[in-house]
């Protein structure tokens, strides 16, 4: 009998569905537990593996439910998946990748890194509320460049999770392909630079980010009630 291939911490999964299937294969997800996904989008996370009881919401593509205000009682679910817009679009009003922006909700996401992180942190807190103690929560995030500066989206998300009492159980790095850099990009010439019509070719200033991170967290255990002195 051939042993099954190992699930790697960093891998070029073909789709998010393949990634989630491997997360389930190592035992982080259970098929019989009530699961919530308030960032369902097109449902691509659940195309290979899917729990029997999945409650799905999405502000933009499904039912208009905001992941910061979920219509469920505290502790209603035992598993959760949270895949919000985690890369800031910036101030651009147009893009060469509208399908990508639409697929991940970026076309309507906040335009500054701080506002985007604040929105996602609020959603993360709401996920902790609707999950029962010691439940599994999957959270997708990434580092990215915005306005010429590197944004530590992964670190910011990890810090927000820690502040909520979440415990990291596992971490997966989803490697992806890199889109070609648009040709002919230029910037305004600085004083003394040789230029054509006041413009010079742009040069790369940061590594191209071709990966995202999937955290596997466990929600905190229920706090013990304090005994009152008699």
For residue range 144-159, what is the model confidence (pLDDT) as tens digits?
A: 877 778 888 999 999 9
- How does residue 181 score in pLDDT terms, banded at 50, 70 and 90? low
Most trustworthy range by pLDDT among 70-79, 143-152, 214-223: 70-79
| Averaged pLDDT score across all residues of the chain | 84
Residues 128-152, mean pLDDT to the nearest whole number: 91
Per-residue pLDDT at 3: 62
Q: Is residue 195 part of a domain?
A: no
Residues 112-120, mean pLDDT to the nearest whole number: 91
- Which of the pair, 20 or 228, is modelled with greater confidence? 20
Q: Is residue 125 part of a domain?
A: yes
pLDDT of 100 higher than 70 = no
* Residue 118: strand, helix, or coil: helix
Total number of domains constituting the chain: 1
For residue range 50-73, what is the model confidence (pLDDT) as tens digits?
A: 999 999 999 888 899 999 999 999
pLDDT of 182 higher than 70 = no
For 45-97, the DSSP string reads GGSS---SSEEE--TTTTS---TTS-SS-TT-EEEEEE----S--TT-S--S-
Per-residue pLDDT at 111: 73
Q: Is residue 229 part of a domain?
A: no
* Residue 166: strand, helix, or coil: coil
Per the structure, the complete domain to which residue 123 belongs is given by 10-177+205-218
> 53: domain CATH number?
3.40.50.150
């Amino acid at each position: 009998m051939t042993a099954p291939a190992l699930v790697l911490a960093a891998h070029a999964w073909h789709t998010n569905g393949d990634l989630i299937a491997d997360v389930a294969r190592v035992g982080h997800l259970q098929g019989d537990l009530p699961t919530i996904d308030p960032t369902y989008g097109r449902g691509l996370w659940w195309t290979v593996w899917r729990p029997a009881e999945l409650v799905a919401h999405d502000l933009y593509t499904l039912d208009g439910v905001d992941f910061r205000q979920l219509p469920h009682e505290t502790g209603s679910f035992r598993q959760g998946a949270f895949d919000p817009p985690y890369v800031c679009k910036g101030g651009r009003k147009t893009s060469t990748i509208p399908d990508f922006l639409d697929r991940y909700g970026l076309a309507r996401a906040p335009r500054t890194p701080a506002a985007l992180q604040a929105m996602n942190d609020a959603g993360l807190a709401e996920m902790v509320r609707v999950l029962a103690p010691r439940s599994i929560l999957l959270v997708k995030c990434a580092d990215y460049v915005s306005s010429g500066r590197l944004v530590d989206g992964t670190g910011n998300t990890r810090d927000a999770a820690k502040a909520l009492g979440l415990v990291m159980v596992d971490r997966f790095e989803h490697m992806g392909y890199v889109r070609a850099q648009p040709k002919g990009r230029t910037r305004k010439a600085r004083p003394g630079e040789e230029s054509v019509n006041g413009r010079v070719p742009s040069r790369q200033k940061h590594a191209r980010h071709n990966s995202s991170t999937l955290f596997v967290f466990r929600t905190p255990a229920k706090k013990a009630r304090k005994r009152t002195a008699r």
